[in-house]
Amino acid sequence: MHDRSRHDRTHQISVIQVYCPAMHDAQDILRTVFGYDNFRPPQDEIINTLIAGDDALVLMPTGGGKSLCYQIPSLVRPGCGVVISPLIALMQDQVNAMRLLGVKASYLNSTLSAQDALEVEEALLAGKLDLLYVAPERLVQERTLALLQRAPLALFAIDEAHCVSQWGHDFRADYLKLSVLQERFPEIPRVALTATADVRTRADIVSRLELDGARQFIAGFDRPNIRYRLALKHSPKQQLLRFLRDEHPMDAGIVYCLSRRKTEDTAAWLQQEGYQALPYHAGLDAGTRAQHQRRFLREEGVIMVATIAFGMGIDKPDVRFVVHLDMPKTVESYYQETGRAGRDGEPADAWLLYGLQDVIKLRGMMAQSQGSEEHKRAEQQRLNAMLGLCEITTCRRQALLNYFGESLPEPCGNCDTCLEPVDTWDATEAARMALSAVYRTGQRFGVNHLIDLLRGAETAKIFQFSHQTLPTYGIGQALDAGQWRSVFRQLVARAYLSVDLERYGALRLEQKCRPLLRGEEIIALRRDQKVKSKTAKKTRANEALSADIDPVLWEALRDKRRQLAETQGVPPYVIFHDKTLREMCLHRPRTQVEFSRLPGVGESKLEKYAEAFLTVIGSI
């Protein structure tokens, strides 16, 4: 079964799906070990491929369920599955979670003592391990390779495989050396997994890891349980507070900021407001970072206020919201960051605030960017896509998926523009006034002065430059300052105007303006909503609790889970996901058999926890 030739693979796989006893094993393991009834396609196909001894490349969104794709074949095939992961800090948690499921898992990395490492190595050689997590730098050492060559191996799983690509932002030099696996272990199937969709990254993975013969599995990128909202920023702190109070009073989440300073300020302020908020950025020392990450994973309801330094590999399933207080530079980063919400498939929020200043700052930074013309053009396109996403008046999810080359035939019904449709207005006249104000003042002024000019304000600066004499002076009194800001924001976002940060954010006309100025083009702009909708409560994503769940039982179950997690030194979600607790509330199982039917309850957890939770349910 291991050395099946490549050309008849397709045929073999279809046969396996129907008859192969190994697939029954896989289905069985899914149920008895993990407590789930069905595979999420294409998990089953990936698992088949690996069980058959073939290689695979897996592209799935965060939360799609990549881990099962190598965990189950590692259990079905003889020998140990070796998982290569750059995230040393998370290995212990991953191993603990596996052990609670009754899987014999261990890890090898620099945090182990020599003695402990030796014990792991002995267990491996004796065939006593199902899964072994190894850091890439450890794996490529000759000593480790020699060890693995003497051990019975089921497969190699290369997690976060995009780290092999210099094109991406998580490049790790050690990943380049992983091509050694193909040379030294040609018989052992390999699977590379990533959530990064980029075509170029994918090509890099295939060539650098020598995965030319691998079957590629590219799962859909939609995350229907995430509600996308991109709102206008006016008073960000108050907006954030209202968001947390109305929608996520007890929940864990991530708040992304652009600067280190801002993460600290925001975390401190949230603490004052009574939230468990912690900062995280690359400038904090390693100890503090590890401690904050640990608390985020272990405790419930912690809010991480972080720069983009935080997040890769954080597979906490119950992150209920991801907030962006500043706009990310690309749709790729936005999607990856928001993808950290709701990995458990339960409702979650992605909420971004953006405003004129964000648009000006990012446009200005682009203008200053170094590098080849090609590089700049690519950067520019990416930024345009991000700004475009903010300003569109149609379904956000359709736009997002479209960006990744997928299509969603109908509007999603679970994004802000679907839930509260946005008006547009014919802004041709206003846009022409704005552009001509830029032109008449010599393309040397920032937006505030231009608005003063249009509104006929009597400021010192107006008189200093004799701008009261210009024909555009005071022609824009029909719109208030806020409306003008909206016009300028959208003109900059759509690249009618560029920004010169070296000259204090002076606005300049772009080629694209000409048809508009000549009256050959009309332009429709988004009508910004002025008043905050009072319907937040009604439209909140996470309302399952209030609807049909007894809060007393819910809290009691959470308490029990917290207790168990503490005594066992694991995060609460490793005991049971929220979803399992919710099902307990809904179905109130009374017996072990009923309990075993809950999602996420396999044999090991049934034995370990059924009694404790049944007692709680029985007592309320």
Binding partner of 487, given Zn ion, ligand ADP, none, CB within 5-8 angstroms per partner class: none
d(CA 525, CA 518): 18
Return the range that interacts with Zn ion (CB under 5 A); candidates 3-11, 154-162, 393-401, 543-551.
Answer: 393-401
Smallest distance, ligand ADP to C-beta of residue 197, A: 13
The smaller minimum CB distance to ligand ADP, of residues 72 and 232, is found at 72
How many CB atoms are closer than 10 A to CB 346? Answer: 18
**Nearest alpha carbon to residue 136 among 100, 184, 85:** 85
How many CB atoms are closer than 10 A to CB 531? Answer: 5
User: How far from the centroid of its chain's Cα atoms is residue 369's Cα?
Assistant: 26
Binding partner of 63, given ligand ADP, Zn ion, none, CB within 5-8 angstroms per partner class: ligand ADP
User: How far from the centroid of its chain's Cα atoms is residue 311's Cα?
Assistant: 8
Binding partner of 39, given ligand ADP, Zn ion, none, CB within 5-8 angstroms per partner class: ligand ADP
Please name the helix (run of DSSP H) or strand (run of DSSP E) that holds residue 332, with its range, or none. Answer: helix 331-338
Smallest distance, ligand ADP to C-beta of residue 434, A: 45
d(CA 485, CA 507): 13
Smallest distance, Zn ion to C-beta of residue 420, A: 11
Smallest distance, ligand ADP to C-beta of residue 68, A: 5
431 binds Zn ion (CB under 5 A): no
412 binds Zn ion (CB under 5 A): yes
Contacting residues for 524 by C-beta, under 8 A, at least 6 apart: 424, 425, 426, 427
**Contact 343/62 with Cβ under 8 angstroms?**
yes
Binding partner of 79, given ligand ADP, Zn ion, none, CB within 5-8 angstroms per partner class: none
Please name the helix (run of DSSP H) or strand (run of DSSP E) that holds residue 424, with its range, or none. Answer: strand 424-426
415 binds Zn ion (CB under 5 A): yes
* Residues at the interface with ligand ADP (CB under 6 A): 36, 38-40, 43, 60, 62-68, 315, 317, 343-344
Q: Contacting Zn ion (CB under 5 A), which of 395, 525, 575, 614?
A: 395
Q: Which residue is nearest to ligand ADP (CB)?
A: 65
3-class state of residue 417 by DSSP: helix
Smallest distance, ligand ADP to C-beta of residue 43, A: 6
* Strand 524-526 relative to strand 424-426, pairing: antiparallel
Smallest distance, Zn ion to C-beta of residue 359, A: 22
Q: Position 174: which residue type?
A: D
Smallest distance, ligand ADP to C-beta of residue 44, A: 9
Q: Where are the alpha helices (DSSP H) in 310-427?
A: 331-338, 356-368, 373-391, 396-403, 416-419
The smaller minimum CB distance to ligand ADP, of residues 90 and 267, is found at 90
The smaller minimum CB distance to Zn ion, of residues 421 and 442, is found at 421
The smaller minimum CB distance to Zn ion, of residues 412 and 447, is found at 412
**Nearest alpha carbon to residue 326 among 348, 303, 351, 352:** 352
Q: Contacting Zn ion (CB under 5 A), which of 223, 289, 363, 397?
A: 397
**Contact 55/179 with Cβ under 8 angstroms?**
no
The smaller minimum CB distance to ligand ADP, of residues 528 and 578, is found at 578
Smallest distance, Zn ion to C-beta of residue 394, A: 8
Binding partner of 418, given Zn ion, ligand ADP, none, CB within 5-8 angstroms per partner class: Zn ion
* Strand 321-324 relative to strand 348-354, pairing: parallel
| DSSP, residue by residue, 519-568 | T----EEE----SPPTTHHHH-S--HHHHH--HHHHHHHHHHHHHHHHHH
Smallest distance, ligand ADP to C-beta of residue 61, A: 7
The smaller minimum CB distance to ligand ADP, of residues 138 and 316, is found at 316
Q: Contacting Zn ion (CB under 5 A), which of 68, 418, 575, 598?
A: 418
Contacting residues for 204 by C-beta, under 8 A, at least 6 apart: 162, 164, 165, 166, 167, 168
Binding partner of 36, given ligand ADP, Zn ion, none, CB within 5-8 angstroms per partner class: ligand ADP
* Residues making contact with Zn ion (CB under 5 A): 395, 397, 411-412, 415, 418
